[in-house]
Amino acid sequence: MRELGACRVLLFTPGNRPERFAKAAASGTDGVILDLEDAVSLPDKALARKTLLEFFSKPQAQFGLRVNNIHTAAGVADLDALVASGAKPAFVVLPKVESAFEVRLYGKLLGLPLLCTVESARGLDAATEIANADPLVQAIAFGGADLAVDLRAELAWEPMLWGRGRIAQAAATAGISAIDVPHVALDDEAGLRADAMRVKAMGFSAKLAIHPKQVGPLLEVFTPTTAELERAAAIVAAYDKAGGNVVEYQGKMVEGPIVKSAQRLLALANK
């Protein structure tokens, strides 16, 4: 699996459906998130937890785990079980994070790469602190559905734009990746691509998926094309040849910010 912060798409799979795990991994996704939270009903959480602890008793490089929020009994049970069992998912997804303290707690007790999801008004207010809470935080995600409910807003592009902007800003302050909310309409590939392209333009580097058929389109959107990589490499080379001075490339002036953007693209591709 790619480094968590370099992933382009992460696919959710219910943690109580082990027959789907292999199919999810074969979808082409950069990583699979086995879910103990929203995808599993309260009566089924204990059995799903047991199933996943057994699954993660052996190294599973492509699979991460979404636990329940630490402010719930199920979340406390998840954390206790992970610590006691020594299970080691490739990464852990923390839902509905609202403080840096929560992040540091998981970092100290688990020592695993973390993806923090911001899904509330309080979480959005603390997004920068959450993104910078611990070196183990490799990405921060925009949880639009729950956030829309908390804000009493519509889950649409315009009402959620400022929230997405806060996540992109928070990720940038920490030098980590920003990941967007899943597209819930399964038979809307055009809308999926449109949303992915818009968040990519905002600085997001990945999007969550809830069905294997969403993986291919998202990989296409978030994977740099050969032409983009060649152009980035040429810009860096021209700038270096000019000794770090402003230089003309294909009729346009190239200076520091443009070069940094090209270097970032190349670094992401190398990961």
Q: What is the pLDDT of residues 31-41, one digit of tens each?
A: 999 999 999 99
Closest Cα to residue 30, out of 227, 216, 265, 264? 216
Please tell me the predicted confidence (pLDDT) of residue 271: 60
Asked if residue 248 has pLDDT above 90, the reply is: no
Residue 175 Cα to chain centre, angstroms: 13
Q: Give the phi and the psi of residue 31 in degrees, each rounded to 5.
A: -165, 155
**Which tokens is 19 given?**
């027959």
pLDDT band at 238, cuts 50/70/90? low
Q: pLDDT over 90 for what percent of the chain?
A: 78
Kind of pairing between the strands at 177-180 and 247-249: unpaired
Question: What residue has token string 């940094």?
Answer: 260
CATH number for the domain whose boundaries are 4-222: 3.20.20.60
**Rounded to two decimals, what is the model's pTM?**
0.89
Count CB neighbours of 39 within 10 A.
Answer: 18
- Give yes or no for a contact between 116 and 97, defined as CB atoms under 8 angstroms apart: yes
pLDDT band at 261, cuts 50/70/90? confident
Nearest-angstrom CA–CA distance, 106 and 91: 11
User: Where in the chain are all domains bearing CATH 3.20.20.60?
Assistant: 4-222
pLDDT band at 102, cuts 50/70/90? very high
Angle made by CA atoms 82, 88, 90, in degrees to the nearest 5: 125
Please tell me the predicted confidence (pLDDT) of residue 1: 64
Please tell me the predicted confidence (pLDDT) of residue 212: 97
Angle of helix 215-222 relative to helix 189-202, nearest 10 degrees, comes to: 30
Nearest-angstrom CA–CA distance, 204 and 206: 6
The partner residues of 93 in beta bridges, in order of sequence, read: 66, 115
